[in-house]
Amino acid sequence: MSKYLNIITSCNLDKNDTVTVTDLENPYGKEPKRHVALKTVNSQPFNAETPISLLCENFITPNDLFYVRNHLPVPDVNLKDYALEIETNDKLVGKFTLDQLKQDFPTVSIVATLMCAGNRRSDMTKIKAVKGLNWGPCAIGTATWTGVRLRDVLKRVGIKEDEFKHVHFEGIDYDVTGSQYGTSIPIWKAMDKRGDVILAYEMNGVSLPLDHGYPLRVVVPGVAGARNVKWLGKIIISNEESQSHWQQNDYKGFSPSIDYDTADFTKAPPIQEMPVISAICQPTHGDVVTVMNDRIRVKGYAWSGGGQKIIRVDVSVDQGKTWYVADFTAQDTAEPPRHWAWTLWSLDIPVGDNQEVEIWCKAVDSSYNTQPENFQNIWNFRGVLSNAYHKVRVQLSR
């Protein structure tokens, strides 16, 4: 139970996850320092994007510029008191300190992109208002994650895949009401060697930063960022999904005809693997771009969930009448279905004698999935899975 329940007498929680504390102690008073360049989307709990001008500059996103998605206050962790518990059938079957995990299991590293399910939500709001943080296209980042295989740990405590259906993850972060972040994934993903799920204690070669889950988080590559639980405190093996709010009543997609009042969350499965997506990082909407040799330079990223690889990015400046294939500037060598990282791309595209153009981009993955052209038919009231063509209008200068 959160210690703040004993000292906070009033709070106001709105539907955009903003918390305002009005009494004795601020649960956000010990938040870590953040890079000044991060674009804040919400202050409490803290949520921020990588600056779009920097997002596609590096294949590996620097830790201090990696997007931050916090649902609750960052917990104050004392490593001396920390241990990961594993439970099934209400019975504790394993308990590991961080040192024990490091010493008792093989160390592995994976390069994986994490993306919030609400990435590019701001594009969807142009059709109609949605409920959720107003993310742009930069709630995404790629890192080298180092830790131990979840399957190794579960096997060590006697878990057998055919006896259970779900693996729950619970964080040690709480809010003023005592709410605790948690979610779950199917056990096949957790136990499959091709699933590459790890309990990560390092990010890009250093201990996890506080905002990214110190001392331990689960990295579930290829799925919605919400399943990659930070500040991991407990794993529960079960035949039922997690009953957490974030598993049962959030991070689900609905028909465009459904609204918040008519949604039946029990009939929609939680988002796991993410659809193919792309975005233009340079230029940005409204920029004035200098034309060189009748061309302009366009740069961006593309990614697909489920371990699929980006095989093509198409770019158009004439409303899709003509498409040009972008060059890949950075791509991981892993093959599907274990290709977890994004692809960076660029293109010098001809613009003719136009004074302005609207640049469109769309990606194709190794299963030949591609993006929908517009948002009208994929709109949903939570603004998730926002993966229609990315469109940026710019002025041209000669």
pLDDT digit string, tens, across residues 22-36: 434 788 989 999 999
| CA 379 to each of CA 339, 358, 374: distance values in angstroms, whole numbers, following the listed order | 28, 22, 9
Average pLDDT over the chain reads 93
Q: What tens digit of pLDDT does each residue of 71-109 get?
A: 999 999 999 999 999 999 999 999 999 999 999 999 999
Instruction: Pinpoint the alpha helices (H) of 3-82.
Output: 52-55
Gap between the Cα atoms of 391 and 358, Å rounded: 6
Whether the pLDDT of residue 322 is over 80: the answer is yes
* pLDDT value of residue 179: 87
Query: Does the pLDDT value for residue 326 go beyond 60?
Result: yes
- Provide the pLDDT for residue 9: 26
Domain ranges for the chain, please list them: 277-397
Q: What are phi and psi of 294, to 5 degrees?
A: 65, 20
Judge whether 307 and 276 are in contact, CB under 8 Å.
no
Please give the CATH topology (third level) of the domain spanning 277-397: Immunoglobulin-like (2.60.40)
Q: What are residue 297's DSSP bridge partners?
A: 348
pLDDT of 2 > 70? The answer is no
% the chain with pLDDT above 70 = 94
Parallel, antiparallel, or unpaired: how do β-strands 84-88 and 232-238 relate?
parallel
What's the pLDDT score for residue 18? 44
pLDDT single digits (tens) 128-171: 999 999 999 999 999 999 999 999 999 999 999 999 999 999 99
CB 367 within 8 A of CB 274: no
Convert 208-243 into a string of H (helix), E (strand) and C (coil): CCHHHCCCCEEECCCECHHHCCCCEEEEEEECCCCC
What are the residues facing 170 on neighbouring strands? 182, 234
Q: How confident is the model at residue 1, as a pLDDT?
A: 34
Structure confidence by residue, pLDDT tens digits, 241-275: 999 999 999 999 999 999 999 999 999 999 999 99
